[in-house]
Each structure stands twice: as structure tokens, then as C-alpha cells.
Amino acid sequence: MISPLIDYLDSVKARDPAARSRWEILLYPGVWALGFHRVAHWLYGGRLFFLARFVNHVGRGLTAIDIHPGATIGRNFFIDHGFTVIGETATIGDDVTIYQSVTLGGTNPSNGIHGKRHPTLHNGVVIGSGAQVLGPIDIGAGARVGANAVVTKDVAPETTVVGIPARPVDADVVHYSPGFVAYGTPCGEDCDPQPARVMALEQQVAAMQQELAALRAASEVAAAPLVPIAKVKSA
């Protein structure tokens, strides 16, 4: 039992440069929330729903993190800070990192897979602070969701998405943080989609200006008065 706990604490330390020791990590609200959830999920699996909810309620009050007892969570799951909500049918793989104020929210039960209302996060996913991941969608292994993004569609593995609604961006994440991208958000202008969009719009405007100039020139030629042939010969 001690060895898995040490492995878990070391996995958290690898993702949080602020951690100075394993003892310090034991005080993290995300670690306590996961511990409460393990107990609540075991009770939930035994159909002791009231007790599961009671444990969930105590854990939420102490950590400000609300994980429904029905959520399925893999190894080395880390919630950095708090104020996170994870719904009943959410499925989370191994080595997933979620930052503060994230919601893994559900949709109408009639949507998507029957009974599956919440997202599935595969191994190694990073969800940035404030992100809202909604519905029975798949976030592929190693994908990164930027801070404050709103995700309502599947995200391919090893893809970084940002914005509202979330869209993929081209980002060499290794350039910023080898092996792990904090907050799921690469920090650099070359991975910001806005400059690329502005450049594309500028190119479109330049092309339209050229077309407009050509049309004006053609209209001026068409509108020019015709000189009679006789006058040309007499001249």
C-alpha cells in the first residue's frame, strides 16, 4: 500500500514544481479529494448510494472539489488546486492532470451514448484552468485543453485545443515544456491562432482590393466613348 502511494506522490511532484516534498503534497486538496472519491466510488459500486453521497459531501466541504461517486478514475490523477466538478459518468484514464475551476459536465441524457452524459479523458490528458469539457465526448490520449476553453467535440490524441469553441492549434509543445505542458496551454505567440487568422484576413483583403482595381479598370474601358471610324480617317 505504501509503494503505490509513494509512486502517486512522486507523479504529482513531477507535475508541480512548487512541491518541495511528499509530505507537502499530502496536504494538497486534490490528493484528499481523490482519497475521498476512492472510498465513495467503492461504496457506489456496492450500491450504497447514500453513504457514497455522504462521503462525497464531506470531501467536497473539505476540498472544494466535487467528484461524483460514480465517476471512474485511473491511476495518478492529479487536481492542481480546487473548485473542480466531475460528473457521474465521467471516465478518466491514467496520469491525467486537471487544474482549478474545471468542469467535466454532462448533457441531456437523450444525447450521445445511452446513459453516458459526461466526457472520457484518456491517458495523459491535461485540462487547463477554467476549461469546460461538456458532453459524452472523447479527449484523446496526450491531448491538451487550454485554459478557459469550451470543448463540446472530440479531441484527437496529442492535440492542443484552445478557445470558445475549442479548436486545434499548431504548437510545438516540446519547445515550451518537454514532456508536460502546464495548464494545457503552450505560452508563445507562434501557437496563438489569432495572428494566423489576422494574416489570412489581410491576405484576403489584399486579393479583394486587387480584384476591385481590375474591375474598375475594366469598367472605365467599357464606359469610354467610341470614336467614329470616319473621324479617325480624316484625321
Average pLDDT, the chain: 84
Query: pLDDT tens digit string along 159-200?
Result: 999 988 989 887 654 444 455 666 666 655 555 556 666 777
pTM of the model: 0.72
36's CB contacts (< 8 A; 6+ apart) are: 55, 56, 58, 59, 62, 63, 67
CATH of 2-189, one of 2.160.10.10, 2.30.40.10, 3.30.43.10, 1.10.3720.10: 2.160.10.10
Query: pLDDT tens digit string along 122-153?
Result: 999 999 999 999 999 999 999 999 999 999 99
Lowest model confidence (mean pLDDT) among 20-24, 67-71, 105-109, 160-164: 105-109
Lowest model confidence (mean pLDDT) among 44-58, 77-91, 221-235: 221-235
Q: Specify whether the CB–CB gap between 115 and 109 falls below 8 A.
A: yes
Looking at residues 84-103, what average pLDDT do you find?
94
The pLDDT > 90 percentage for the chain reads: 51
